Structure 1
Amino acid sequence: MSVPLRPGEHQRRILESGRHKEAELVLRKGRWFFNLVVESHDAKPVAFGPVMGVDVGENNLAAHSLGKVFGGEHLRDRRDRHLALRRRLQSNGSPSAKQKLRQVSGKEMRRVKHTNHETSKAIVQAAIKAGVAKITMEDLTHIRARIKAGKRVRGRLHRWAWRQLQTFVEYKARAAGIAVEYVNPAYTSQMCSCCGHLGKRSKHRFVCTHCGLRAHSDLNASRNLARIGGTAVPPRAAVNTPDVGSVDMGNHVCISQ
């Protein structure tokens, strides 16, 4: 069959932006969709600008050093509900239960992917608006092997799509000319982003007993990542850290001791 392609203005701009690659024809809920991959070149690299740190997690999907936290409570609740449903279907074992299980699994993966796309797009848009030249994220290689928690928590963390979110941020950033760097995450959640001393973290709250900083723990970690990316100094457990200048904390500026 020969079917004419009638793209809208938005689709036409995408088609003209690069080279056409593989395509796929998909039937979903009685409707046909034509998915065409277009390979476009990355934008000219941003030469100068600040560094943005992005911390990913499970309680909160992500937090960036410009002051934004992306909550993950709703997605985590929906995934827990899907997990309970999958267990019931698996224990049933009937052909209809297996068919329903495939539908549920596919729906869950699509929801997570959609959420990660939305979150990564918001992060990169914030970076573009702020003139960011580089985004620094945690190197989560072998993170699942390092997880130490109860069986239920381990199961939930093993299902979390951390790397997918980071990959989406990376390719969207590179398309906008923003460099991406992965660094060792050691002590980024325990170190004060203001003075560099080790502080105390309790769930979403971080308190530094040295300089008195009180901040959201994920925001504090993202600012540590930004500092590491800006100074090329790896995190360490030393009590005293070298002077790395000022770190913008939103309402005030902290100077390293």
Structure 2
Amino acid sequence: MLSWQTEQRTVSIRTTKGRLKHLPFTGDDHQLRLLAQYRQGESDLLTQGGQWYLLATLDVPEAPQNPHPQGFIGVDLGIANIATTSTGHRHSGRKLNRTRENDRNLRTRLQQKGTRSAKRRAKRHAGKEARRTRDINHKISKHIVAEAQRTGRGIALEDLSGIRERARLKKPQRVTINSWAFGQLGAFIEYKARRAGVPVVHVSPAYTSQECSHCHHIDKRNRPNQAEFSCRNCGFVEHADLNASHVIAARGWWTWVCGAESQVPALTLVV
């Protein structure tokens, strides 16, 4: 039970020991502007690490969707590079993968130790990992959506539903791909795109790593290793992730032309 005084940036909260009045709150400028304009519905109060947070529900209106995108930016999600776009931007995961490997080793050691202090430390560390992942996914999605909005294009994503069941990977790769929040990254791209009026389509992920973006010949031999793509039909050579992103972009355009637009969930933000 609380009341907001957004102009004064204070709240009054009813507690078991009475009402606490004129408690100051803060946030970054963008969050505070959204709060003042669009707050609607219930709010949640939680504590984490000795700090208190208010989560406010906002009803933010959608921007009109661009009805005539000038092509699509294809986004290839992977292990060595978390996201590669058809415009040539690679969001590398090499340094991050080393950090995640260290995190897994620490988690294993703490689980084996099994003491109360080890369990508390493991819980704190898990929260740190989740916050780091969320922050990186926010930055990547923000960059991709901003580029699409600036260039008047849409965004094409692979339909990754069931990827864990479909993927045939070696054990180290399974650990890596299963531990990264690709679904979260896709959701962030979608809701940011909806706010910006950028159309989003989902395409089939089948053979995107084996299809040539120039002649569209499909052959598993086109991918001799993780990083290289070399078409056996036309001789086209390119970085494998970049080639896949071009294939996804082309499929996105044809999906849009055929009218199979993706349905993005309704936008809900918290401050």
Match of 1:248 in 2: none
1:37 maps to a residue whose letter is T
Q: Which of the residues 143, 146, 171 maps onto 1:151?
A: 171
Aligned to 1:169: 189
Aligned residues: 232
Given the alignment, which residue of 92, 95, 98 partners 1:74? 95
2:113 is aligned, of 89, 92, 102, to 92
Shift of 1:184: 1.0
Shift in alpha-carbon separation, 1:187–1:151, aligned structure 2, 3 A: closer
1:18 aligns with 2:38: yes
Cross-structure match for 2:262: none
CA distance in 1, matches of 2:130, 2:25: 30
CA RMSD in angstroms, aligned pairs only: 2.0
Give 2:144's aligned residue: 123
Deviation, structure 1 residue 29: 4.4
Whether contact under 8 Å (1:121, 1:169) holds in the other structure is yes
Q: What percentage of aligned pairs have identical amino acids?
A: 38
Structure 2 counterpart of 1:209? 232
> In the alignment, what sits opposite 2:252?
229
Does 2:76 correspond to 1:55? Answer: yes
Residues 43-77 of structure 1, C-alpha deviations (whole Å, 9 max, x = no match):
00101122121111121110111221110112211
What displacement does 1:28 show? 4.2
- Cα distance in 2 for partners of 1:90, 1:45 equals 48
| Structure-2 change in CA distance of 1:111 and 1:184 (3 Å) | same
Distance 1:154 1:12 in 2: 41
Q: Kindly tell me: are residues 9 and 86 of structure 1, through their superposed partners in 2, closer, same or farther at Cα, counting changes over 3 Å?
A: closer
SS in 2 for 1:55: strand
Instruction: Say if 1:75 and 1:112, in contact at 8 Å, map to a contact too.
Output: no
- Cα shift readout 1:140-163 (whole Å, capped 9, x = no counterpart): 111101222333332222212111
TM value normalised by structure 2: 0.79
Structure 1: distance between partners of 2:226 and 2:141 = 23
Further displaced range: 216-225 or 16-25: 16-25
| Residue 190 of structure 1 pairs with residue 210 of structure 2 | yes
- Structure 2 unmatched ranges of 5 or more: 1-19, 257-271
Partner of residue 139 from structure 1, selected from 159, 163, 171? 159
Deviation at residue 211 of structure 1 after TM alignment: 2.8
Matched residues in 2 for 1:176 and 1:21: separation?
A: 23
Matched position secondary structure for 1:212: coil
What is residue 264 of structure 2 aligned with on the other side? Answer: none
- Quick one: distance in 2 between partners of 1:104 and 1:20? 34
Q: Give the letter for the 1:166 counterpart.
A: G
Question: TM (normalized to structure 1)?
Answer: 0.83
Q: Please report how far the alpha carbon of residue 176 of structure 1 lies from its aligned counterpart in structure 2 after TM superposition.
A: 0.8
Kindly tell me: are residues 6 and 165 of structure 1, through their superposed partners in 2, closer, same or farther at Cα, counting changes over 3 Å?
A: closer
- 8 Å contact from structure 2 (residues 73, 85) kept in 1: yes
Aligned partners of 1:17, 1:204: CA distance in 2, in Å?
47
User: C-alpha separation between the residues in 2 aligned to 1:110 and 1:28?
Assistant: 12
Give the distance between the partners of 1:189 and 1:94, measured in 2 at CA. 45
State the shift of 1:100 in Å.
0.6
SS in 2 for 1:120: helix
- Larger mean Cα displacement after TM superposition, 206-215 or 5-14: 5-14
In the alignment, the residues of structure 2 paired with residue 17 and residue 211 of structure 1 have an alpha-carbon distance, to the nearest angstrom, of 56
Change in Cα spacing, 1:10 to 1:207, as seen in structure 2 (3 Å) is same
